[in-house]
Protein backbone atom coordinates (compact mmCIF):
# COMPACT_ATOMS: atom_id res chain seq x y z
CA UNK A 1 0.00 0.00 0.00
CA UNK A 2 1.05 3.60 -0.56
CA UNK A 3 0.68 5.45 2.73
CA UNK A 4 0.83 9.06 3.86
CA UNK A 5 0.68 10.66 7.29
CA UNK A 6 -0.71 14.07 8.28
CA UNK A 7 0.80 15.27 11.57
CA UNK A 8 4.19 13.94 12.64
CA UNK A 9 3.96 14.81 16.32
CA UNK A 10 3.93 12.36 19.22
CA UNK A 11 1.54 9.80 17.69
CA UNK A 12 2.36 10.44 14.02
CA UNK A 13 5.82 9.04 14.79
CA UNK A 14 4.24 5.86 16.16
CA UNK A 15 2.22 5.43 12.95
CA UNK A 16 5.39 6.03 10.92
CA UNK A 17 7.36 3.38 12.86
CA UNK A 18 4.55 0.82 12.57
CA UNK A 19 4.20 1.39 8.81
CA UNK A 20 7.95 1.04 8.34
CA UNK A 21 8.01 -2.17 10.39
CA UNK A 22 5.07 -3.57 8.41
CA UNK A 23 6.76 -2.82 5.08
CA UNK A 24 4.23 -0.31 3.74
CA UNK A 25 5.50 2.30 1.30
CA UNK A 26 5.30 5.77 2.87
CA UNK A 27 5.04 8.12 -0.10
CA UNK A 28 4.40 11.47 1.61
CA UNK A 29 4.31 13.23 4.95
CA UNK A 30 2.53 16.45 5.85
CA UNK A 31 3.05 18.81 8.76
CA UNK A 32 2.70 22.57 9.11
CA UNK A 33 5.82 22.55 11.30
CA UNK A 34 8.85 21.66 9.16
CA UNK A 35 10.88 20.69 12.25
CA UNK A 36 8.52 17.72 12.72
CA UNK A 37 9.27 16.23 9.30
CA UNK A 38 12.88 17.32 8.77
CA UNK A 39 14.33 14.01 10.02
CA UNK A 40 12.45 11.85 7.47
CA UNK A 41 14.80 11.83 4.53
CA UNK A 42 13.86 10.60 1.08
CA UNK A 43 10.09 11.06 1.55
CA UNK A 44 8.11 13.84 -0.14
CA UNK A 45 7.00 16.50 2.35
CA UNK A 46 4.00 18.82 2.28
CA UNK A 47 2.82 21.74 4.42
CA UNK A 48 -0.73 21.55 3.09
CA UNK A 49 -2.69 18.28 3.39
CA UNK A 50 -5.01 19.21 0.51
CA UNK A 51 -2.02 19.63 -1.78
CA UNK A 52 -0.68 16.27 -0.68
CA UNK A 53 -3.99 14.43 -1.15
CA UNK A 54 -4.58 16.10 -4.54
CA UNK A 55 -1.11 15.41 -5.93
CA UNK A 56 0.01 12.04 -4.60
CA UNK A 57 -1.29 8.57 -5.33
CA UNK A 58 -2.24 7.45 -1.84
CA UNK A 59 -4.03 4.27 -0.74
CA UNK A 60 -4.24 5.14 2.97
CA UNK A 61 -3.79 8.46 4.72
CA UNK A 62 -3.26 8.57 8.50
CA UNK A 63 -4.72 11.61 10.29
CA UNK A 64 -2.57 12.27 13.37
CA UNK A 65 -3.29 15.95 13.93
CA UNK A 66 -4.96 17.86 16.80
CA UNK A 67 -8.62 17.01 17.45
CA UNK A 68 -10.21 20.07 15.83
CA UNK A 69 -8.65 19.19 12.44
CA UNK A 70 -9.82 15.58 12.24
CA UNK A 71 -13.26 16.18 10.71
CA UNK A 72 -12.17 18.35 7.81
CA UNK A 73 -9.16 16.17 6.97
CA UNK A 74 -11.17 12.93 7.13
CA UNK A 75 -13.93 14.39 4.95
CA UNK A 76 -11.46 15.76 2.40
CA UNK A 77 -9.88 12.30 2.04
CA UNK A 78 -13.22 10.43 1.87
CA UNK A 79 -14.52 12.82 -0.81
CA UNK A 80 -11.50 11.82 -2.92
CA UNK A 81 -12.07 8.12 -2.21
CA UNK A 82 -8.83 7.87 -0.22
CA UNK A 83 -8.94 5.39 2.67
CA UNK A 84 -8.34 7.18 5.95
CA UNK A 85 -7.26 6.02 9.38
CA UNK A 86 -7.99 8.73 11.94
CA UNK A 87 -6.56 9.00 15.42
CA UNK A 88 -9.10 9.29 18.23
CA UNK A 89 -11.35 11.15 18.73
CA UNK A 90 -13.03 10.97 15.33
CA UNK A 91 -14.36 14.51 15.89
CA UNK A 92 -15.33 16.90 18.67
CA UNK A 93 -18.91 17.91 17.88
CA UNK A 94 -22.15 16.24 16.80
CA UNK A 95 -22.32 18.43 13.69
CA UNK A 96 -18.88 17.24 12.61
CA UNK A 97 -19.96 13.67 13.34
CA UNK A 98 -23.00 13.97 11.04
CA UNK A 99 -20.81 15.35 8.24
CA UNK A 100 -18.21 12.59 8.61
CA UNK A 101 -20.80 9.81 8.67
CA UNK A 102 -22.48 11.25 5.56
CA UNK A 103 -19.11 11.45 3.77
CA UNK A 104 -18.29 7.87 4.82
CA UNK A 105 -21.63 6.66 3.45
CA UNK A 106 -21.00 8.30 0.07
CA UNK A 107 -17.32 7.41 -0.29
CA UNK A 108 -15.87 4.36 -1.99
CA UNK A 109 -13.04 4.52 0.54
CA UNK A 110 -12.90 3.03 4.06
CA UNK A 111 -12.68 4.98 7.30
CA UNK A 112 -11.01 3.62 10.43
CA UNK A 113 -10.66 5.08 13.93
CA UNK A 114 -7.67 4.38 16.12
CA UNK A 115 -9.09 2.81 19.28
CA UNK A 116 -6.12 0.48 19.59
CA UNK A 117 -6.97 -0.72 23.11
CA UNK A 118 -9.64 -2.96 21.58
CA UNK A 119 -6.70 -5.03 20.30
CA UNK A 120 -5.17 -5.66 23.76
CA UNK A 121 -5.33 -9.37 24.55
CA UNK A 122 -7.00 -8.49 27.86
CA UNK A 123 -9.75 -6.49 26.07
CA UNK A 124 -10.35 -9.28 23.55
CA UNK A 125 -10.58 -11.82 26.37
CA UNK A 126 -13.04 -9.67 28.36
CA UNK A 127 -15.28 -9.03 25.34
CA UNK A 128 -15.45 -12.74 24.57
CA UNK A 129 -15.77 -13.91 28.20
CA UNK A 130 -18.66 -11.55 28.92
CA UNK A 131 -20.58 -11.98 25.67
CA UNK A 132 -23.20 -14.38 27.08
CA UNK A 133 -23.09 -13.22 30.71
CA UNK A 134 -25.31 -10.71 32.45
CA UNK A 135 -23.11 -7.91 33.74
CA UNK A 136 -24.91 -6.43 36.73
CA UNK A 137 -22.58 -3.47 37.15
CA UNK A 138 -19.33 -2.25 35.65
CA UNK A 139 -16.80 0.40 36.54
CA UNK A 140 -13.91 1.98 34.64
CA UNK A 141 -11.16 4.12 36.11
CA UNK A 142 -8.45 6.22 34.50
CA UNK A 143 -5.93 7.78 36.88
CA UNK A 144 -3.15 9.46 34.96
CA UNK A 145 -0.82 12.39 35.45
CA UNK A 146 -0.71 15.19 32.87
CA UNK A 147 1.06 18.29 34.14
CA UNK A 148 1.58 21.87 32.96
CA UNK A 149 4.54 20.80 30.78
CA UNK A 150 2.34 18.30 28.92
CA UNK A 151 -0.32 20.90 28.21
CA UNK A 152 2.26 23.50 27.21
CA UNK A 153 3.95 21.07 24.78
CA UNK A 154 1.44 22.00 22.05
CA UNK A 155 -0.93 24.96 21.95
CA UNK A 156 -4.01 22.93 20.95
CA UNK A 157 -3.93 20.95 24.21
CA UNK A 158 -6.19 21.98 27.07
CA UNK A 159 -8.51 24.22 24.99
CA UNK A 160 -12.19 23.61 24.24
CA UNK A 161 -11.91 24.94 20.71
CA UNK A 162 -8.98 22.77 19.67
CA UNK A 163 -9.04 19.73 21.97
CA UNK A 164 -12.84 19.65 22.35
CA UNK A 165 -12.60 18.58 26.00
CA UNK A 166 -10.10 17.33 28.53
CA UNK A 167 -9.61 13.96 30.19
CA UNK A 168 -12.86 12.57 28.76
CA UNK A 169 -12.37 13.63 25.14
CA UNK A 170 -8.67 12.85 25.06
CA UNK A 171 -7.51 10.18 27.52
CA UNK A 172 -10.56 8.38 28.96
CA UNK A 173 -12.28 8.08 25.58
CA UNK A 174 -10.35 4.82 25.10
CA UNK A 175 -11.83 3.39 28.31
CA UNK A 176 -15.30 4.63 27.45
CA UNK A 177 -14.91 3.02 24.04
CA UNK A 178 -14.00 -0.34 25.63
CA UNK A 179 -16.97 -0.19 28.00
CA UNK A 180 -19.34 0.66 25.15
CA UNK A 181 -17.80 -2.05 22.95
CA UNK A 182 -18.19 -4.71 25.65
CA UNK A 183 -21.49 -3.63 27.21
CA UNK A 184 -23.37 -1.80 24.44
CA UNK A 185 -24.32 1.84 24.06
CA UNK A 186 -25.85 3.55 27.11
CA UNK A 187 -28.95 5.59 26.35
CA UNK A 188 -28.61 8.17 29.12
CA UNK A 189 -25.85 9.68 31.21
CA UNK A 190 -25.53 11.71 34.37
CA UNK A 191 -22.09 13.13 35.02
CA UNK A 192 -19.98 15.99 36.29
CA UNK A 193 -16.62 17.34 35.21
CA UNK A 194 -14.23 19.83 36.77
CA UNK A 195 -10.70 21.16 36.68
CA UNK A 196 -8.91 20.13 39.87
CA UNK A 197 -5.20 20.66 39.33
CA UNK A 198 -4.58 22.99 36.42
CA UNK A 199 -6.90 25.97 36.87
CA UNK A 200 -5.58 28.87 34.81
CA UNK A 201 -3.42 26.52 32.71
CA UNK A 202 -6.16 24.64 30.83
CA UNK A 203 -9.78 25.53 30.26
CA UNK A 204 -11.00 21.92 29.84
CA UNK A 205 -11.70 19.42 32.64
CA UNK A 206 -8.99 17.28 34.22
CA UNK A 207 -11.46 15.15 36.23
CA UNK A 208 -14.80 13.55 35.39
CA UNK A 209 -17.22 11.13 36.99
CA UNK A 210 -20.32 9.79 35.31
CA UNK A 211 -22.98 7.08 35.42
CA UNK A 212 -23.93 5.66 32.02
CA UNK A 213 -27.47 4.28 32.05
CA UNK A 214 -29.00 1.63 29.84
CA UNK A 215 -29.36 -2.15 29.69
CA UNK A 216 -25.85 -2.61 31.13
CA UNK A 217 -25.11 0.44 33.29
CA UNK A 218 -21.59 1.45 34.24
CA UNK A 219 -19.68 4.18 36.06
CA UNK A 220 -16.54 5.93 34.85
CA UNK A 221 -14.08 7.90 36.94
CA UNK A 222 -11.30 9.63 35.05
CA UNK A 223 -8.63 12.09 36.03
CA UNK A 224 -5.33 13.40 34.72
CA UNK A 225 -4.57 14.96 38.11
CA UNK A 226 -3.27 11.75 39.74
CA UNK A 227 0.28 11.97 41.14
CA UNK A 228 1.46 9.45 38.53
CA UNK A 229 0.07 7.20 35.79
CA UNK A 230 -1.67 4.16 37.21
CA UNK A 231 -2.99 1.24 35.14
CA UNK A 232 -6.43 1.73 33.67
CA UNK A 233 -8.88 -0.64 35.25
CA UNK A 234 -12.22 -2.05 34.15
CA UNK A 235 -14.30 -3.99 36.66
CA UNK A 236 -17.28 -6.13 35.65
CA UNK A 237 -19.61 -7.67 38.23
CA UNK A 238 -21.71 -10.67 37.26
CA UNK A 239 -23.86 -12.70 39.70
CA UNK A 240 -20.93 -14.73 41.01
CA UNK A 241 -17.82 -13.14 39.58
CA UNK A 242 -15.75 -10.00 39.60
CA UNK A 243 -13.66 -9.63 36.45
CA UNK A 244 -10.87 -7.06 36.68
CA UNK A 245 -9.24 -6.02 33.40
CA UNK A 246 -6.11 -3.89 32.97
CA UNK A 247 -4.28 -3.24 29.67
CA UNK A 248 -2.18 -6.38 30.22
CA UNK A 249 -4.02 -8.57 32.70
CA UNK A 250 -7.35 -10.12 33.60
CA UNK A 251 -8.31 -11.54 36.99
CA UNK A 252 -11.49 -13.47 37.68
CA UNK A 253 -12.40 -13.52 41.40
CA UNK A 254 -8.74 -12.70 42.07
CA UNK A 255 -7.28 -15.51 39.92
CA UNK A 256 -5.11 -14.30 36.99
CA UNK A 257 -6.05 -15.45 33.50
CA UNK A 258 -3.19 -16.77 31.38
CA UNK A 259 -2.96 -14.27 28.50
CA UNK A 260 -0.52 -14.26 25.63
CA UNK A 261 1.88 -11.36 26.28
CA UNK A 262 1.80 -8.42 23.86
CA UNK A 263 4.53 -8.36 21.22
CA UNK A 264 6.14 -5.04 20.43
CA UNK A 265 4.81 -1.85 22.01
CA UNK A 266 5.24 1.46 20.19
CA UNK A 267 5.29 4.87 21.88
CA UNK A 268 4.37 5.45 25.52
CA UNK A 269 3.46 2.47 27.69
CA UNK A 270 0.04 4.02 28.27
CA UNK A 271 -0.85 3.65 24.55
CA UNK A 272 -0.75 -0.14 24.96
CA UNK A 273 0.44 -2.57 22.32
CA UNK A 274 -2.51 -2.21 19.96
CA UNK A 275 -1.36 0.29 17.32
CA UNK A 276 0.51 -2.25 15.20
CA UNK A 277 -2.35 -4.76 15.33
CA UNK A 278 -4.98 -2.14 14.52
CA UNK A 279 -3.03 -0.66 11.61
CA UNK A 280 -2.43 -4.10 10.14
CA UNK A 281 -6.10 -4.99 10.53
CA UNK A 282 -7.15 -1.74 8.83
CA UNK A 283 -4.82 -2.37 5.88
CA UNK A 284 -6.13 -5.94 5.59
CA UNK A 285 -9.73 -4.65 5.51
CA UNK A 286 -8.81 -2.11 2.81
CA UNK A 287 -7.07 -4.80 0.76
CA UNK A 288 -10.13 -7.05 1.01
CA UNK A 289 -12.47 -4.10 0.25
CA UNK A 290 -14.33 -4.79 3.50
CA UNK A 291 -15.66 -2.50 6.21
CA UNK A 292 -13.16 -2.01 9.04
CA UNK A 293 -14.47 -3.11 12.43
CA UNK A 294 -13.91 0.35 13.96
CA UNK A 295 -15.39 2.42 11.13
CA UNK A 296 -16.94 5.88 11.43
CA UNK A 297 -20.16 4.64 13.04
CA UNK A 298 -18.24 2.58 15.57
CA UNK A 299 -15.65 5.30 16.28
CA UNK A 300 -18.44 7.84 16.82
CA UNK A 301 -20.04 5.89 19.69
CA UNK A 302 -17.62 6.96 22.43
CA UNK A 303 -17.60 10.57 21.18
CA UNK A 304 -21.42 10.63 21.61
CA UNK A 305 -21.06 9.49 25.22
CA UNK A 306 -18.36 12.10 25.91
CA UNK A 307 -20.46 14.93 24.47
CA UNK A 308 -23.55 13.82 26.43
CA UNK A 309 -21.44 13.78 29.62
CA UNK A 310 -20.37 17.39 28.99
CA UNK A 311 -23.99 18.41 28.45
CA UNK A 312 -25.16 16.60 31.59
CA UNK A 313 -23.69 18.84 34.33
CA UNK A 314 -25.31 16.73 37.02
CA UNK A 315 -28.63 16.06 35.26
CA UNK A 316 -29.73 12.86 33.50
CA UNK A 317 -29.56 13.53 29.74
CA UNK A 318 -30.18 11.45 26.62
CA UNK A 319 -27.22 10.33 24.54
CA UNK A 320 -27.87 11.48 20.98
The one among 3, 65, 224, 309 contacting ligand NAD by CB under 6 A: 65
Q: Which is nearer to ligand NAD, 66 or 112 (CB)?
A: 66
**CA 319 – CA 185 distance, rounded (Å):** 9
Restricting to residues 241-280, name those near ligand NAD by CB under 6 A.
271
Restricting to residues 38-57, name those near ligand NAD by CB under 6 A.
49
- Specify whether the CB–CB gap between 109 and 83 falls below 8 A: yes
Closest CA to 317 of 187, 220, 188: 188
Restricting to residues 166-225, name those near ligand NAD by CB under 6 A.
170
Closest CA to 286 of 103, 50, 84, 89: 84
**CA 302 – CA 290 distance, rounded (Å):** 23
Question: Applying CB under 6 A, does 162 fall inside the site for ligand NAD?
Answer: no
Cα–Cα distance list, 291 to 2, 107, 108 (Å): 19, 12, 11
Question: Applying CB under 6 A, does 11 fall inside the site for ligand NAD?
Answer: yes
The one among 1, 32, 238, 262 contacting ligand NAD by CB under 6 A: 32
The one among 18, 29, 69, 97 contacting ligand NAD by CB under 6 A: 69
The one among 74, 75, 88, 111 contacting ligand NAD by CB under 6 A: 88
Question: Applying CB under 6 A, does 123 fall inside the site for ligand NAD?
Answer: no
The one among 154, 226, 252, 311 contacting ligand NAD by CB under 6 A: 154
Strands (E), 253-316: 255-256
> In the β-sheet with 60-63, what is the strand arrangement from edge to edge?
44-46, 25-30, 2-6, 60-63, 83-87, 111-114
Binding site residues, ligand NAD, CB under 6 A: 6-12, 30-33, 36, 49, 64-67, 69, 87-88, 114, 116, 154, 170, 271
Amino acid sequence: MKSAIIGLGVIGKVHYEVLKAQGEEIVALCDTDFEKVREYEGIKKYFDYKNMLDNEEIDVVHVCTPHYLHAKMVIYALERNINVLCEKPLCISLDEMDEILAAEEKSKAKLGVCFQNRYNNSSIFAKDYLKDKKVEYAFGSVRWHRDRAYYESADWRGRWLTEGGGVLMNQAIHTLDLLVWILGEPKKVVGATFNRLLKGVIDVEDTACADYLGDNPFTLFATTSAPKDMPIELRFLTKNETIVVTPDSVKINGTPVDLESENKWYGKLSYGGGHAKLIKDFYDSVARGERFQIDGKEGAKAVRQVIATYISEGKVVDVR
